[in-house]
Amino acid sequence: MMFMPRRRLLQGALSLSAALALPGLARAQAQATGDAPSGPHSQAPLPYAFGANEAAIDARTMELHYRFHHGGQVAGLNRALRDHAQLAALPVDELLGKLNEVPEAIRTAVRNNGGGHVNHTMFWEIMGGAGGEPQGELAQAITRDFTDFATFRGRFNTAANGVFGSGWAFITVNREGRLALVTKGGQDSPLMDGQRVLMGNDVWEHAYYLRYQNRRAEYSTNWWNVLDWQKIGARYAAAKAGTLRV
């Protein structure tokens, strides 16, 4: 009997594993690079480099999260709407606000992919900063509605860490500038309830697992180090002006 050297056997196993993984990887890459069905919804370019949030999130996680998770959701949303021209013509916030009117056959796909699209669009927008604390009207609103910034941050982290399984913690804002803390499971969005989102943190494991494994609380704490309070302040002003969409 002939025996294959251990090194060659290992190399062969790795090659076989890679070959088996290629179809799934190709599909994911196609979804993220626009080879999937096109449609009215698109993924905005990331406003900074993948490594810009290293104080909280490693570059590889950012790339996988942005390109494949978010990119796949945009493709999935367009695919679901492909034969529904009237729904496809709606802005995504209006579409999610009318979710109960979406045909049952595509409602789950629109809910999951549309929710993921708006959630991630907001998520990328509010990061890329140096943390710290907000100023001006937003700081005053936080003090009014949450006592002080430390209490605000602590309550937000407790909510985020308490999400069972996968989901999000959000701060919503109304036209009067009032803030509220809510959590959602899966890719559900406050837009589905007619609310607007000031900011939110993604606590799906894919958002943090490469660096933190099961240490969600550590991720939640570090996430504040990469927030861009100027961007969040601009969202607050837009919400009061009635122009904040996603």
Query: According to the CATH classification, is domain 55-246 in 3.40.640.10?
Result: no
Identify the CA nearest to 185 among candidates 103, 112, 77.
Answer: 112
pTM: 0.86
Q: How many CB atoms lie within 10 A of CB 19?
A: 9
pLDDT reported for residue 190: 98
What is residue 37's predicted lDDT score, i.e. its pLDDT? Answer: 61
Which residues, given as ranges, of the chain have pLDDT below 70? 1-37
**Structural domain boundaries of the chain?**
55-246
pLDDT at 28: 41
- Structure-token pair, residue 85: 């021209």
The answer to whether 78 touches 37, Cβ cutoff 8 Å, is yes
- Distance CA(31)–CA(33), nearest Å, equals 6
The identity of residue 85, as a single letter, is A
Tokens of 208: 């943090």
pLDDT for res 38: 87
pLDDT for the residue numbered 25: 37
CA 240/CA 233 separation, integer angstroms = 11
